[in-house]
Amino acid sequence: LVAIWTVITAAAGAEVHRVGGSTGWTTINITADFYRDWVASQRFNVGDTLLFQYNSNFHNVVRVTHRNYNACNATTPYATWTSGNDSFLIPRPGHFYFICGFTHHCEAGQKLDVRIV
Ligand SMILES: *[C@@H]1O[C@H](CO)[C@@H](O)[C@H](O)[C@H]1NC(C)=O
Ligand SMILES: *[C@@H]1O[C@H](CO)[C@@H](O)[C@H](O)[C@H]1NC(C)=O
Ligand SMILES: *[C@@H]1O[C@H](CO)[C@@H](O)[C@H](O)[C@H]1NC(C)=O
Ligand SMILES: [Cu+2]
């Protein structure tokens, strides 16, 4: 079964998930649950890419710990991206947490919790 699954996964290829779909990575027109609902609509695998597309004048992407995700605290990140077209390759199973580091954006719902089983 594992061998078959490996073949199927390889055949399907790695996917690129544009974070937020057509809405992208933003605070405009989102509810507090917007990114949680978007995550629930996706099927993530190791090797897939999260593609954050946004206006870099108003947003960034900050990968943080679970604790700092909950606290919307961007002061001690694992990594920060600022180009407006940023890719994160999912390296392994687990939880990956991202927030926007601009003031009050995370609190407004611009935060992403991706879990890969
Ligand atoms: C936000 O939503 C409103 C109502 O659906 C829509 O008219 C407006 O174009 C949206 N704004 C953006 C930037 O998507
Ligand atoms: C943010 O996290 C850092 C490191 O964990 C901590 O030192 C700091 O006090 C936190 N800031 C707030 C406002 O909680
Ligand atoms: C954004 O990044 C993706 C993935 O690297 C790339 O395919 C795409 O061409 C880039 N788009 C722009 C506008 O730079
Ligand atoms: Cu933002």
Output the CA 22–ligand 4 centroid distance in Å: 16
Q: Report the CATH number at residue 82.
A: 2.60.40.420
Which strands, in side-by-side order, build the sheet including 85-89? 16-18, 49-53, 85-89
- Which range marks the domain in which residue 36 is found? 16-116
Of all ligands present, the nearest one to the C-alpha of 64 is 2
Count CB atoms within 10 A of the CB of residue 65. Answer: 14
Distance in angstroms (rounded) separating the CA atoms of residues 58 and 3: 45
Q: What is the mean pLDDT of each run of 10 residues along the chain (117 residues)?
A: 56 87 96 97 97 98 98 97 98 97 97 96
Output the CA 46–ligand 4 centroid distance in Å: 26
Which of 29, 30, 54 to probe ligand 1 with, by most ligand atoms within 8 A of CB?
A: 29
Q: Residue 11 domain-assigned? A: no
Q: Residue 57 domain-assigned? A: yes
Q: Residue 10 domain-assigned? A: no
Q: Residue 60 domain-assigned? A: yes
Of 74, 63, 80, 79, the closest CA to residue 107 belongs to: 74
Q: Residue 3 domain-assigned? A: no
Of all ligands present, the nearest one to the C-alpha of 67 is 2
SS3 59: coil
Q: Residue 5 domain-assigned? A: no
Q: Residue 108 domain-assigned? A: yes
Is residue 60 within 8 Å of 89, Cβ to Cβ?
no
Q: Residue 83 domain-assigned? A: yes
pLDDT for position 10: 55
Tell me which residues have their CB closer than 6 angstroms to ligand 2: 68, 71, 73, 75-76
Of 56, 54, 57, the closest CA to residue 112 belongs to: 54
Of all ligands present, the nearest one to the C-alpha of 14 is 3
pLDDT for position 12: 64
Structural domains counted in the chain: 1
C-alpha distance across the termini of the chain, in Å:
17
